[in-house]
Amino acid sequence: MLFELVILFVILFLFLGYPISKAWDSFQSKKENSSSILKFEPQEILSMGLSYFIFGLGIMWNANDVRAGIPLHKFEKNGMMSDQYASLAHDYIAIVVLLVILGGVSYWRLTTGLIKLSPIFYIFYSTLMIVNIVYTFIYITHTGFAFYTELGGLRYIPVFCIQVGMLAFSLLFLAKLRNTLGYFIQSQNEKDYTQSNRIILLLYRISFGYQKMATVWMISLFPVLLIVQFILILFGQKPDSFIRVFMETSSFNYSKIPAPSPQIVSGDGHYLCTVSVKGHKNIVKPLRAGIRHGERITVNRQLLIANAFENVIEERVPKCHKVIRNFYDKYGYPISKHINTKWSADFVYILMKPLEWFFLFVLYTVDKNPENRIHIQYSELRK
């Protein structure tokens, strides 16, 4: 459990460290330097890029998760789930992606074009970022944090990625709103503004009263959402897709579609076995059929080498083998359930190549007949 907590802390610090410090600094009493408001800092660009990257990964993996109302699958031998429900409804996920993209564009405009922005566009861009912050809050309360207790099994990786990504750029949005608000109001007040129409003048003063700005944002929230919704309707989305994206899911807090009982499937999950079966044959190079737990499987040389290495560790350092075996059982299966295309299997195969070479080096170092040991893996010849 300690290892998982350390990994969790490192990931959260990597993606949330700078956004948290940026948001915290924006609410301090010190006056923000105008040069830092009107241009991107290198670490700001990196942080924004990382947040959108991990969010994008979560969205892609969410697309591979099970739709609401369809039974999940549970492995017969170890009781582990073979798949999981999507936290965002597939049919309406476009609304989330569009809002996040528009939020990023708004962040960019409030950084590089703040001086030239008219009041209307300032409020428009600010409102889009506020919508993203609100959506982040809704998503986090929708998915909750209960799955963190299962992090050792790496369950709900898409949920974790989406949560971290949305929280990271929402903190950056919050800091940008806080820093640009005072600067924009001050720059507008410094302009020589004359207006003979008393009504327009009154509206102008209300709009740029610092205390009234939250009210202006709330008033502009509806028309901005309306514009976004009109765009979505043009592309075939339903008018209430803002809500349906959360409600038409299963097993989450705002889900309205009941989750049926899971179906039992044979096997126990094994990601290198999955790679040898699902990858392109000219890349993963399957060799022959093998036997694992009494069932026929397809094996390649990478799988044979990995199993031979484990066999050596089991013989020579059994205590170390137990730790490695527990680690593999805990993380190997969750990886396998995301290997659902030929390209993802190829990617894992290539990613495992350095480890395969290391395993082979160890085998040739400690074993008198390494190829014999490799050859008998997953066969009746192995005792």
Per the domain annotation, does 383 fall within a domain?
no
Residue 220 has pLDDT above 80, yes or no: no
Contact (CB, 8 A) for 148 and 139: no
Are both 360 and 260 inside the same structural domain?
Answer: no
Q: 10 and 148, same structural domain? A: yes
Report the pLDDT value the prediction gives residue 88, as an integer from 0 to 100: 94
245, 250, 256: which is closest to 94 by C-alpha? 245
pLDDT digits (tens, 9 = 90+) for 176-191: 988 887 666 666 555 5
Each residue of 345-366: pLDDT tens digit?
777 778 788 888 888 898 888 8
**Residue 200 confidence (pLDDT) above 70:** no
User: Looking at the structure, do residues 154 and 18 belong to the same domain, yes or no?
Assistant: yes
**Predicted pLDDT at 47:** 93
The answer to whether residues 159 and 178 belong to one domain is yes
Mean pLDDT of 101-117: 88
d(CA 83, CA 155): 9
**pLDDT for 112-136, tens place per residue?**
887 787 777 888 888 889 889 989 9
- Co-location of 257 and 284 in the same domain: no
Same domain, 192 and 239: yes
Does residue 193 contact residue 203 with C-beta atoms inside 8 Å? no
Using alpha carbons, list the distances in angstroms from residue 316 to 308, 312, 320, 322: 13, 6, 9, 12
Q: Which domain holds residue 135?
A: 2-264
Same domain? 62 vs 87: yes
pLDDT recorded at residue 380: 65
3-state secondary structure of 286: strand
Give the strand pairing for 73-75 and 295-300: unpaired
In this structure, the answer to whether residues 160 and 240 fall within a common structural domain is yes
- Does any domain span residue 348? yes
Cβ atoms of 141 and 253 closer than 8 Å: yes
Q: Which of these three, 247, 264, 281, is where a domain ends?
A: 264
Q: What is the pLDDT of residue 257?
A: 92
Q: What is the pLDDT of residues 154-172, one digit of tens each?
A: 457 789 899 999 999 999 9
Per-residue burial over 344-375, b = 16 or more CB atoms within 10 Å of its CB, e = otherwise: bbbebbeebeeebeebbebbeeebeebeebbe
Domain count, the chain: 2
Q: Could you tell me if residue 152 is inside a domain?
A: yes
Q: At a CB cut-off of 8 Å and minimum separation 6, what does 326 contact?
A: none
| Beta strands in 254-375, from DSSP E residues, in sequence order | 263-265, 286-292, 295-300
Q: What is the mean pLDDT of residues 61-78?
A: 79
Q: Which residue has the higher pLDDT, 281 or 15?
A: 15
Same domain, 156 and 232: yes
